[in-house]
């Protein structure tokens, strides 16, 4: 029997999830089937290694025949969904998957190039608070007018000469042209090959020269954790799909993809199989949790259904409707939409300074009204704790059945709360009626 205290905690969390409006852009409500698989018996066996179809070393312990079938099935579904050649489905979180990418392609001390934490990047994109900033020498490309600028990125690539170029984001409301970035990196790598000189008096074979050049070339990595739901449904033009252009792609499975809390790594080049698989096991994991692998497979199957494409389109429609609702109330433009008031994905960043409040105060004011979001750094902020922005996203409310009209209403409510306008009782009654309309998600 489950311990009484634990039962109470779980049931409190369930009530909380059912009675709040989650606008955290990185959160979603996975299906009960996914949650059930997360707690399944597949987490019991010790599964160090890979099925023989992935690595000829196979598993390190006996008894993995059934799990081999599971992992192969999950890999096949990941490849089918994202239309790639290879997938590693063992990483346990986005940060874990990202650590494996550094390990696969970099040596300690290598240079890396990413956006900065205060513009759009995740902590694992070179921040000094993580291994990625401690063990590698990270440099940044800046955004211009709060948008990714391809000329700036190219300029920094030639200045920094990184081993790893990191693209992708945690806080950005626009698509990225990965085809363009691929062209920039290809040109850079060709120039590097031409410009690399070797001393004439040292005996070095052509093969060694080629190996040395390959080791210096820039690897293009995209962390599509936030927008992988859009990529899985192929609703964006090919140039915005990193799986077609980046050397390696990582994603969490629990954000727009609506799967379990976990992650995967994707790539197309067979030359990278050994590097990436060995970077996961044995370099950065022992036996991974195969219950999560089962839950990931279920998430990929759910995302392959036509309804999931409707869901993703609705996520975007709802985000824009929510922004429009805020604008309708905020006639004095005290709330500033970072990089413009048109979102191309599931989120928006709002600079709240004009309303005379901090990001933390905005977060607290919304939480007091059962609306959950996160404070967020925006360009110019120095410390995450003193940030002046909030980030809003619609993946979770859309899963719960929010329509365009309801999202617009919620936008108006959010603006009224942050600008301290309107009757608090009226605001509460609108929130209660929105919650009643969607009902309980988890029974």
Task: Give the footprint of ligand PLP on this chain (CB under 6 A).
Answer: 26, 93-95, 98, 122, 124, 168, 170, 223, 225-226, 252, 263
**Judged by CB, which is closer to ligand PLP: 51, or 168?**
168
Cβ at position 251, least distance to ligand PLP in Å: 8
Q: Which of 27, 48, 137, 404 is catalytic?
A: 48
Concerning whether 255 is annotated as a catalytic residue, the answer is yes
Concerning whether 252 is annotated as a catalytic residue, the answer is yes
Concerning whether 223 is annotated as a catalytic residue, the answer is yes
Q: Which of 14, 27, 46, 177 is catalytic?
A: 46
Cβ at position 8, least distance to ligand PLP in Å: 26
**Judged by CB, which is closer to ligand PLP: 223, or 241?**
223
Strand order in the sheet with 219-223: 86-88, 263-267, 248-252, 219-223, 164-168, 111-115, 137-141
Q: Which of 68, 71, 146, 223 is catalytic?
A: 223
CA-CA-CA-CA torsion sign (170, 171, 177, 180): negative
Concerning whether 207 is annotated as a catalytic residue, the answer is no
* Alpha-carbon gap, residue 411 to 397, rounded angstroms: 12
Concerning whether 46 is annotated as a catalytic residue, the answer is yes
Cβ at position 201, least distance to ligand PLP in Å: 47
**Judged by CB, which is closer to ligand PLP: 64, or 265?**
265
Q: Which of 59, 163, 261, 375 is catalytic?
A: 261
**Judged by CB, which is closer to ligand PLP: 94, or 389?**
94
Tally Cβ neighbours within 10 Å of residue 4: 8
Q: Which of 255, 375, 391, 400 is catalytic?
A: 255
Q: How crowded is the C-beta side of 390, counted as CA atoms within 13 Å? A: 28
Are the beta carbons of 49 and 58 closer than 8 angstroms? yes
CA distances from residue 199 to 196, 204, 206, 213, 388 in whole angstroms, order as listed: 10, 9, 13, 14, 53
> CA-CA-CA-CA torsion for 52, 58, 62, 63, nearest 10 degrees?
-40
C-alpha 27 chain-centroid distance: 10
Are the beta carbons of 224 and 232 closer than 8 angstroms? no
Concerning whether 141 is annotated as a catalytic residue, the answer is no
Cβ at position 220, least distance to ligand PLP in Å: 16
Beta bridge partners of 336: 351
Cβ at position 263, least distance to ligand PLP in Å: 6
In the bound state, the residue with its beta carbon closest to ligand PLP is 94
**Judged by CB, which is closer to ligand PLP: 369, or 399?**
399
CA distances from residue 245 to 30, 203, 240, 241 in whole angstroms, order as listed: 29, 37, 9, 7
**Judged by CB, which is closer to ligand PLP: 335, or 338?**
338
Q: Which of 124, 252, 343, 394 is catalytic?
A: 252
Nearest CA to 71 among 57, 98, 56, 53?
A: 53
Cβ at position 169, least distance to ligand PLP in Å: 6
Which residues have a catalytic role annotated?
A: 46, 48, 223, 252, 255, 261
């Amino acid at each position: 029997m489950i311990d009484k205290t634990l039962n109470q905690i779980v049931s409190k969390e369930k009530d909380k999830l059912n009675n709040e409006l989650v606008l955290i852009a990185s959160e979603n409500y996975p299906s009960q089937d996914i949650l059930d698989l997360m707690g399944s018996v597949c987490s019991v066996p010790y599964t160090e290694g890979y099925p023989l179809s992935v690595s000829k070393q196979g598993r390190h312990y006996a008894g993995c025949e059934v799990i081999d079938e599971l992992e192969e099935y999950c890999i096949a579904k990941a490849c089918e969904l994202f239309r790639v050649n290879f997938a590693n489905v063992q990483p346990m979180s986005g940060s874990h998957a990202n650590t494996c990418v550094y390990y696969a392609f970099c040596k300690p001390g290598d240079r890396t190039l990413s956006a900065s934490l205060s513009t759009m990047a995740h902590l694992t994109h070179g921040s000094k608070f993580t291994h990625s900033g401690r063990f590698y020498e990270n440099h940044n490309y800046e955004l211009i007018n709060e948008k990714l600028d391809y000329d700036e990125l190219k300029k920094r690539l030639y200045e920094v000469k990184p081993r790893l170029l990191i693209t992708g984001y945690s806080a950005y409301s626009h698509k990225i042209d990965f085809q363009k970035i691929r062209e920039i990196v290809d040109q850079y790598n060709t120039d590097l090959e031409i410009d690399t000189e070797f001393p004439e008096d040292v005996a070095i074979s052509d093969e060694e020269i080629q190996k040395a050049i390959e080791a210096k070339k820039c690897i293009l990595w995209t962390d599509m954790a936030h927008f992988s739901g859009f990529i899985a449904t192929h609703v964006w033009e090919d140039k915005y799909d990193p799986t077609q252009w980046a050397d390696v792609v990582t994603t969490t499975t629990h954000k727009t993809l609506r799967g379990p809390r976990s992650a995967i790594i994707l790539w197309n080049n067979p030359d990278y199989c050994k590097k990436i698989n060995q970077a996961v096991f044995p370099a950065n994991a022992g036996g991974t949790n195969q219950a999560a692998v089962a839950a990931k497979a279920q998430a990929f199957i759910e995302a392959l259904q036509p309804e999931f494409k409707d869901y993703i389109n609705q996520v975007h429609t709802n985000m824009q409707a929510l922004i429009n609702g805020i604008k309708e109330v905020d006639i004095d433009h005290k709330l500033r939409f970072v990089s413009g008031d048109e979102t191309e994905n599931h989120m928006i960043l709002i600079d709240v300074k004009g309303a005379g409040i901090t990001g933390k105060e905005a977060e607290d004011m919304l939480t007091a009204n059962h609306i959950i979001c996160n404070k967020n750094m925006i360009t110019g902020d120095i410390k995450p704790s003193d940030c002046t922005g909030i980030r809003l996203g619609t993946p979770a409310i859309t899963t719960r059945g929010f329509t365009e009209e309801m999202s617009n209403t919620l936008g108006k409510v959010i603006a009224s709360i942050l600008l301290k306008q309107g009757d608090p009782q009226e605001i509460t009654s609108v929130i209660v009626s929105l919650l009643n309309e969607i009902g309980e998600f988890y029974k």
